[in-house]
Amino acid sequence: MMRLLSLLPLLLIAVPEAALAQTGIPLVSVQPSAAGGSDYSMSIQILLLMTLLTLIPAALITMTSFTRILIVLAILRQALGTAQTPSNQIILGLSLFLSLFIMAPVFEVAWTTALEPYMNEAMGFTEALDAAKIPFREFMFGQTRETDLLLFAELGGYAAFNTPDDVPMVVLLPSFLTSELKTAFQIGFLMFVPFLIIDLVVAAVLMSMGMMMLSPMLISLPFKLMLFVLIDGWSLVAATLVTSFTV
């Protein structure tokens, strides 16, 4: 089975090549289009599409709300002191579905303005790619701090940008990720403080009672879980994360 899976990319490339060889059409061809651009052969488009599919995980992390949500949930689990509960799979799944919920308007705009016209052959590949960037750029600009943009623009040696359209992706992406990390740690800190107070109170009580051999984490864990359940913590965390984004 593993050998078959390893041969799958080669088959995906070899099948179109064999089909095009029978018809006499070259595998790689670039022809000028009527609009002044270039029309790529179907084999090149398939290769580019496969390349983009391999970049989907990186795009999910770097261009969506996934990073902030994942970090906040990981800090929350650490604050609760529940070790591996919820498990990494559950945290990843919750982060993914919350990201899909938040990014749904962005995905819808990208579908209607780029992917659907491209599938209907009403738009070329390059034009569709440029159109798909627009909603994601607007989303990232809504979450990115101006100071982070200025920092990476200065590090890259870029001049002052007059409009957001002048900001290249190589500057926007690291600026967006830096802002997301900063915001995620700010939210995580605010969530950590109440549980830290419970740990301090329990530790002080145990010290005053002379129970220094008893772990404060063991005693404070039920109180933290009870508090988190009473305030409907998961719903509050999900609502806080969703409303923290500007879409």
Predicted pLDDT of residue 185: 93
**Cα torsion 69, 75, 79, 85: sign:** positive
Of 4-8, 34-38, 130-134, 143-147, which gets the smallest average pLDDT?
4-8
- How far is it, in rounded angstroms, from Cα 184 to Cα 160? 28
Q: Kindly state the tokens that stand for 123.
A: 């738009």
Predicted pLDDT of residue 22: 43
Nearest-10 crossing angle of helices 88-110, 66-80:
160
**158 or 74, which is more confident?**
74
Number of C-alpha atoms within 13 angstroms, CB side, residue 40? 13
Helix, strand, coil percentages for the chain (3-state, nearest 5): 75, 0, 20
**Residue pair 172/140 in contact by the 8 Å Cβ criterion:** yes
Residue type, 197: I
Predicted pLDDT of residue 166: 82
Rounded to the nearest 5 degrees, what angle is found at the Cα of 141, between the Cα atoms of 193 and 145? 45
- C-alpha separations of 36 from 11, 33, 60, 124 in Å: 34, 5, 33, 12
Predicted pLDDT of residue 69: 93
Q: Specify the pairing of strand 30-32 against strand 38-40.
A: antiparallel
Of 14-18, 61-65, 83-87, which gets the smallest average pLDDT?
14-18
- C-alpha separations of 164 from 75, 115, 134, 158, 187 in Å: 33, 23, 11, 13, 27
pLDDT value at 195 more than 70 = yes
Q: What is the dihedral of CA 89, 92, 95, 98, to 10 degrees?
A: -50
- How far is it, in rounded angstroms, from Cα 173 to Cα 56? 15
Q: Tens digit of pLDDT for each residue in 89-109?
A: 999 999 999 999 998 999 898
- Stretch 7-19: mean pLDDT: 40
Residue 87 backbone dihedrals phi, psi, to 5 degrees: -70, 165
Of 14-28, 184-198, 225-239, which gets the smallest average pLDDT?
14-28
pLDDT value at 228 more than 60 = yes
Confidence grade of residue 128 (pLDDT, cut at 50, 70, 90): confident
Of 42-46, 71-75, 119-123, 141-145, which gets the smallest average pLDDT?
42-46
If you average pLDDT over every residue of the chain, what do you get? 78
Kindly give the residue spans of alpha helices, DSSP state H, lying in 81-168: 88-110, 116-119, 125-143, 146-155
pLDDT value at 47 more than 80 = no
- For 29, other C-beta atoms within 10 Å of its C-beta total 13
Predicted pLDDT of residue 29: 46
Predicted pLDDT of residue 80: 86
Q: Is 0.85 topped by the overall pTM?
A: no
Confidence grade of residue 19 (pLDDT, cut at 50, 70, 90): very low
Q: Where are the domains of the chain?
A: 60-243
Q: Kindly state the tokens that stand for 56.
A: 């989907």
Predicted pLDDT of residue 8: 37
